Amino acid sequence: MSKMNKWLLSSGLLGLLLTLSGCVSTNSDGTPNENGMIYRFLVKPLGNLITMLVENFDWSYGWAIIAVTIVVRLIILPLGIHQSKKTMIQSEKMQFLKPQVDIAQANLKKATTREEQMQAQADMQKIYSENNVSMFGGIGCLPLLIQMPIFSALYFTARYTQGIQNSEFFGISLGQPSFLFVAIAGISYLIQGYISTIGIPEEQKKTMKTMLIVSPLMIVFMSLSAPAGVTLYWVVGGVFSCLQTFITNVIMKPKIRAQVEAEMKANPPKTVVTPRKDVTPTQQTQPTTPKNLNHKNAKGRNAGKQQRK
């Protein structure tokens, strides 16, 4: 995983925390603003759906939260899988470009002038553009922009829907923090992180270790002070994320890898850069002609000595 990808992932986790409080406008006391667009079009309908399930099917609010979360996640599942597929295709293609990328990076390190640095950077971009590969590994903003308001709406629905605060689920009050739910949520996202490493080269696994720890810690941090109804939403989301990651990493990835290998075999990557052949300072300052002349002169002097003898 490149530094850019790690930065995007870590900033994405921070963005998740900010989005949960930013997509839905709130009042000074922290309650959602009922005039906000996300509240009117997402939070309120989802809250009404939970209330309907409780009143018409005699469900508990816990089961209603689980059902609504699963339904919403199923609706956006194709979008997530499609984005994961694009990312994996780009990532697999980047493995075939790695030798050239390494050369461009080596040339950049050897560059001594501004012009050489710019040329090495241009070569880096050209490697990707000439081979129709994204430098960002297929990471797109549109799926995140679509999903984040939905996740935010689910969060506020579970937190502020009337009736949830005073209900229980398997003896656990949904209006109070639950350390059991916090632990389950953290473990589920930890498992999801482990599944995401299946089939990943060892070098990439080492760079992903930080993210595997940060993601569950962020979920635990957000859940510690949240009501159990909100944490239950995180639990269901974590389990669902495990399922989605299993589909993409375990089922889809081997097929995508074989497909890309066949494609690269039929159409090998274009060669864009070659290693720089640096000239050493001694070679630059000591021309070959004087050496040859000195050598000839030496032979001439020796020849003269031999004749005198």
- pLDDT tens digit string along 219-268? 899 888 889 998 999 899 999 999 999 999 899 999 999 999 998 888 88
In a domain, 130, yes or no: yes
The beta strands (E) that lie in the chain are given as 168-169, 172-173
Query: At residue 287, does pLDDT exceed 60?
Result: no
Q: Count of domains in the chain?
A: 1
Residue-wise pLDDT tens digits, 108-147: 888 888 888 888 888 888 888 888 887 665 555 555 666 6
282 pLDDT more than 50: no
Question: Does residue 153 belong to any structural domain of this protein?
Answer: yes
Residue 77 lies in a domain: yes
146 assigned to some structural domain: yes
In-domain check, residue 276 = no
Is position 105 within any domain?
Answer: yes
**Could you tell me the residue range of the domain that residue 148 belongs to?**
32-264
Q: Which residues contact 282 (CB under 8 A, 6 or more apart)?
A: none
In a domain, 93, yes or no: yes
- The angle formed by the CA atoms of residues 65, 67 and 72, to the nearest 5 degrees, is 95
Contact yes or no for 197/267 (Cβ under 8 A): no
**What is the pLDDT, as a whole number, of residue 22?**
52
Rounded Cα–Cα distance for residues 49 and 40 (Å) = 13
What are the tens digits of pLDDT across the range 162-193? 888 889 999 999 999 999 999 999 999 999 98
| Gap between the terminal Cα atoms of the chain | 76
Decide if 305 is inside a domain.
Answer: no
